[in-house]
Chains A and B, each alone.
Chain A
Amino acid sequence: MKKSRKLFWITVIVLLQAVSLIGCWNRQELSSLGLVMALAIDQAPEKNKVSITVQLANPREVKQPSKTGGGGTKPVWVATNTGYSFSDALRNFVSISGRKLFYAHNQVIVIGEEAARKGVRPFMDFLSRNYQIRRTSWVVVAKGVKGARILQFQSEMEKVPAMEISSLIKAKVDASTAAGIDIHDFIEKLTGDGIEPIAGGIELTNRTQPEGGEAGKDKNEVSLTGTAVFKEDKLVGWLNKPETRGLLWILGQVNRGIIVVESPKDIKKPVALEITRASGAVAPEFRNGKLVIKIKIKEEGNLGENMSEVDVTRPGVIKTLEDEQKKVIENEIRAALKKAQKEFKTDIFGFGASVSRNYPNEWNKIKSRWSGMYPDLAVELDVATKIRQQGMVSSW
């Protein structure tokens, strides 16, 4: 009798616990959420307002195999809304989409050029304060267009365009032709002493049709080109492709890539060298009380392609190629330095930060004068290049 009563109460307690397991307080069903895949920030027509564009994914459509085609709803939905602040604009989406926005899967933040020129710091607060947004979302600046326009492009490869932008950035970073900057890096550079932020630049281009195909009428393909350069939180200009790699050399972020040099035999026929590993370091020095920035680059590569007829097995040819390679790297770095130092006057290389790490006492003295000193800083380059392998053939 007693035993069965105990059993009864245990059963009751277990059942009651089961009731509490079915959900949490603020449960959110997938069907009532709008999964935000990409966000774009633009200046609204009204001066004191921002315009936010979201790209929402429809999980049901994304999962289905592509052949089902028409009839179904679209896999993504792009909409724009304005508000007095970032979150104000976002909140207004509920009234048009009927779904609560969910940011945890956000891949990219696209900032329109106009908004970037006005300053991005106010937006960074929401991006770091919100508990759903990850600091690993990419930050890119739309070159010449509104960020909203970027989110409207139709991807051929992916159902969700944001995923394509994200993989585009990853691929470009692997090829060392673009700076992969996420919210985390951006904020670190923005708040850091003696360093200014950068971001990848994204652009709309013509549809890349195979030869013989019909050329697209409207610009409807995105490409990642160059780097957006900021001074404090305002966009001041752009670096082109070689300048971007110059910047990446200094930041030590070059991993892979091709360096095309002129052949020693015939300058019209190029030799391509593959970068296999590279490192870059900034070492400030005080010489007679004058600050000199030394940049040390070490690069190793392979002979990737030889379009000319130069015989690489001949002694001295490899050495010549190494010197050519060194020249190309130096030119890229000089180009980046010229743009950033003389034209934009912004310390995107973190020279100030490296002075503060290595000479903290001196840094405290020159900190207030830094922005005046920076454009006239003497920079010395020390580039060492090596060619290690020649590939499957030597010379033919």
Chain B
Amino acid sequence: MLEDGKISSKQYFLIIFSVILSVSIFSVPAPTVALARQEVWIAMVIAVFVDGVVAATLYYLGLKYFPQSLVQYCSTILGRIPGKITGAVFIWFFIHVAAITVRILGDFMITAVMPQTPILVFAVTLVILSASAVRNGLEIIARLAELIGPVLILFSLLTIGLVLKDVNPDNLKPLFHTGLIDILKASLIPSSWFGVCVIMGMLLPYHDKPQKTFVAKMGGVITGTILLTAFMLVQMGVFGVHGTASLTFPSYSLARMIHLGDFVERIEVVMMVIWLGGGFITLTVLYYVAVLGTSQLLNLKSFQPVVIPVGIVIIGLSIMLFSNHIDLKAFINKVFPFYALSIEGGLTTVLLIIALLRRGTAKKANRK
């Protein structure tokens, strides 16, 4: 087998949680608040439901074709050639999102902390570090998540707690005054990021109790959503709807607002390091499933030879995909939701329908 490691439910939960929170915290708040305004929590609940449907689909398929992974059962369901093509689409998607993740983290670093450093420096260091984690396999990544995940939860709560005194509750009014269409439109943004958890389809075979995958996955998504929603509500309370929507990195600006007495201040760099840690897990997991998927698609005996080439592709894409941050934001806000959901939701639903149809025909054939 390509991967001998097994991960526990707790590790599975923390991986999903880190993926949900750490990149979304940069990309989701501003555009979602801009559209859903005070009803941002409704948009988030809708997003969880959308993600729950995707998760249920992948859970059903994953158990049905156990121990095959998403990329492998594509071929089982669709036949050899279409299956390989579908698998390749998923792998492309993982690589693409990994590249976007690198770009978001890099853009964040050069906007907020080190404006004179070329983004290539951050892209290369992140991916090299990530490559070394990927080479060591899934168990190492899981343990990393076990290390960083709880810290991520703790410090997110701490950030929210410390700025609570700057929240102006008036900014959260009026309630229920955003049109349903706008809320639905807004919910597409978090949905598309939560949907990145199609990686669960790749990780399910390595879960030591595959039957518990759905619970662990939804647990991660819901925990992440609660924290992310809390962040957005606090941001609205502090900056107002208009202010949150106009900030480039609302969560970072929020951390900059922390000032307790005259000594607990300027601690945003601590927050930044922890979010980068979370972002690093996201990148590593996406990178890993892309590598694993590629070697499964090509029937390789080991995934080691694929690690470096995929890493180079991720670095290259992260630099070349967007010419500037405005470009990146336009893509994330306007294109990514539809593009991502058509793969996360659309493609998996097609797989499910065909799988169900095939089971039907197989039963009929048996009866004859």
Measured CB to CB, the residues of A under 8 A from B are: 24-26, 104, 131, 134-136, 184, 187-188, 191-193, 353-354, 356-358, 360-361
Give which listed residue, B113, B174, B240, contacts A131 with CB less than 8 A. Answer: B113
Query: For B256, what are the chain A residues with a Cβ–Cβ distance below 8 Å?
Result: 134-135
Among residues of A, the one whose C-beta sits closest to the C-beta of B176 is A360
How many residues on chain B are close to A (CB under 8 Å)?
25
Set of chain B residues within 8 Å of A104, measured between Cβ atoms: 266
Query: Given that A188-B239, A358-B173 are known contacts, is A131 also in contact with B111, CB under 8 Å in the complex?
Result: yes
Residues of B within 8 Å of A188, CB to CB, are 239-240, 243
The stretch of B39-47, B115-123, B141-149 in contact with A is B115-123
CB distance from B167 to the nearest CB of A (A): 12
Instruction: Indicate with 1 or 0, residue by residue over B239-271, a CB within 8 angstroms of chain A CB atoms.
Output: 110110010000001001101000001100000
Smallest Cβ-Cβ distance to B118: which chain A residue: A25
A24-B114, A26-B115, A192-B242 known; 20 other A-B pairs, CB under 8 Å? A25-B116, A26-B114, A26-B116, A26-B117, A104-B266, A131-B115, A135-B256, A135-B257, A136-B257, A187-B243, A192-B240, A193-B242, A353-B170, A354-B170, A356-B174, A357-B170, A358-B173, A360-B174, A360-B177, A361-B177
Given A25-B121, A188-B243, A358-B173; A136-B259 close (CB under 8 Å)? yes
In the bound complex, how far is the Cα of B266 from the Cα of A376, in angstroms?
A: 45
Complex interface: chain B residues within 8 A of A136 (CB): 257, 259, 265
Q: How far is the CB of B265 from chain A (nearest CB, A)?
A: 8
- Check B112 for interface membership: any CB of A closer than 8 A: yes
Min CB distance A188 to B, Å, is: 6
Contact in complex: A25, B177 (CB < 8 Å): no
* Bound: A188/B244 CA distance, A: 10
Check if A131 sits within 8 Å of B112, measured CB to CB.
Answer: yes
Q: Distance in Å from the Cβ of B128 to the closest Cβ of chain A?
A: 12
Min CB distance, B174 to chain A, in Å? Answer: 4
CA distance A360 to B177 in the complex (A): 7
**Chain B residues with a Cβ under 8 A of chain A:** 111-118, 121, 170, 173-174, 177, 238-240, 242-243, 246, 253, 256-257, 259, 265-266
Nearest neighbor of B238 in chain A, beta-carbon distance:
A184
- Determine how close the nearest CB of chain A comes to the CB of B138; give it in whole angstroms: 25
Complex-state Cα separation, A360 to B117, whole angstroms = 46
Contacts of B240 in A (CB 8 A): 188, 191-192
Cβ-defined contact, B257 with A184, below 8 A: yes
A24 partner residues in chain B, CB cutoff 8 A? 114, 117
**Which of A25, A191, A193, A353 neighbours the largest number of chain B CB atoms within 10 Å of its CB?**
A25
> A26–B118 Cα gap in the complex (Å)?
10
A104 to B269, CA, bound (A): 13
Do the beta carbons of A357 and B115 come within 8 Å of each other? no
Task: Tell me the minimal C-beta distance from B258 to chain A in angstroms.
Answer: 10
14 contacts between A and B (CB under 8 A): A24-B117, A25-B114, A25-B118, A26-B115, A26-B116, A131-B113, A136-B257, A184-B239, A188-B243, A192-B242, A356-B174, A357-B170, A360-B177, A361-B177
A191 engages B243 (CB within 8 Å): yes
- Chain B residue numbers with a CB within 8 Å of A358 are 173-174
Chain A neighbourhood of B174, CB < 8 A = 356-358, 360
| A25 with B117: CB separation less than 8 A | yes
- Hey, which chain B residues are within 8 Å of A353, CB to CB? 170
Determine the chain A residues whose CB is within 8 A of the CB of B259 once the complex forms.
Answer: 136
- Residues in A neighbouring B118, C-beta threshold 8 A: 25
Q: Inside 8 A of A357's CB, which chain B residues have their CB?
A: 170, 173-174
Which 6 pairs from chain A and chain B are nearest by CB?
A: A26-B116, A357-B173, A25-B117, A360-B174, A360-B177, A357-B174
Residues of B within 8 A of A360 (CB): 174, 177
Nearest Cβ distance between residue B292 and chain A, in whole angstroms? 27
Q: How far is the CA of A136 from the CA of B115 in the complex (A)?
A: 21
CA distance A134 to B253 in the complex (A): 9
Of chain B, the residue at the smallest CB distance from A136 is B259
Bound state CA distance, A353 and B115, in angstroms? 37
* Bound complex: CA A319 to CA B289 (Å): 76
Residues of A within 8 A of B113 (CB): 131
Q: How far does the alpha carbon of A358 sit from the alpha carbon of B172 in the complex, in Å?
A: 11
Inside 8 A of A134's CB, which chain B residues have their CB? 256
Bound-state CA distance A279–B115 (Å) is 44
CB-defined contacts of A184 to chain B, threshold 8 Å: 238-239, 257
Q: Report chain A residues within 8 Å CB of B117.
A: 24-26
The CA-CA distance from A187 to B239 in the complex, in Å, is 9
- Nearest chain A CB to B266 CB, angstrom units: 8
Which of A104, A136, A358: most chain B Cβ within 10 A?
A: A136
Q: What A residues does B170 contact at CB under 8 A?
A: 353-354, 357
A115 CA / B173 CA spacing, docked (Å):
35
How far is B174's CA from A360's CA once the two chains are assembled, in angstroms? 7
A193 closest partner in B (C-beta): B242
A132 and B336 CA atoms in complex are apart in Å by: 31
Q: Which residue of B lies closest to A357 (CB)?
A: B173
Contacts of A191 in B (CB 8 A): 240, 242-243, 246
B264 to chain A, nearest CB (A): 13
Nearest opposing residue in chain B for A364, CB measure: B177
Q: Which residues of B contact A187 (CB under 8 A)?
A: 243
For residue A189, give the distance in angstroms from its CB to the closest CB of chain B: 10
From residue A379, how far is it (CB to closest CB) to chain B in Å?
Answer: 19
Tell me, in angstroms, the Cα distance from A178 to B13 when the chains sit together. Answer: 51
Q: Chain A residue with minimal CB distance to B168?
A: A188
Q: A135 — which chain B residues lie within 8 A by C-beta?
A: 253, 256-257
- Measured CA separation A187–B116 after assembly (Å): 27
A127 to B81, CA, bound (A): 57
Contacts of B242 in A (CB 8 A): 191-193
Cα of A354 to Cα of B239 in the assembled complex, Å: 16
Nearest Cβ on chain A to B270's Cβ, whole angstroms: 16
Please measure, in the bound complex, the distance between the C-alpha atom of A135 and the C-alpha atom of B166, giving whole angstroms.
Answer: 12
Residue of B nearest to A134 (CB): B256
Instruction: Give Cα distance in the complex from A26 to B239, angstroms.
Output: 31
- How far, in whole Å, are A187 and B243 apart by their CA atoms in the complex? 8
Docked CA distance A356–B177 (Å) = 11
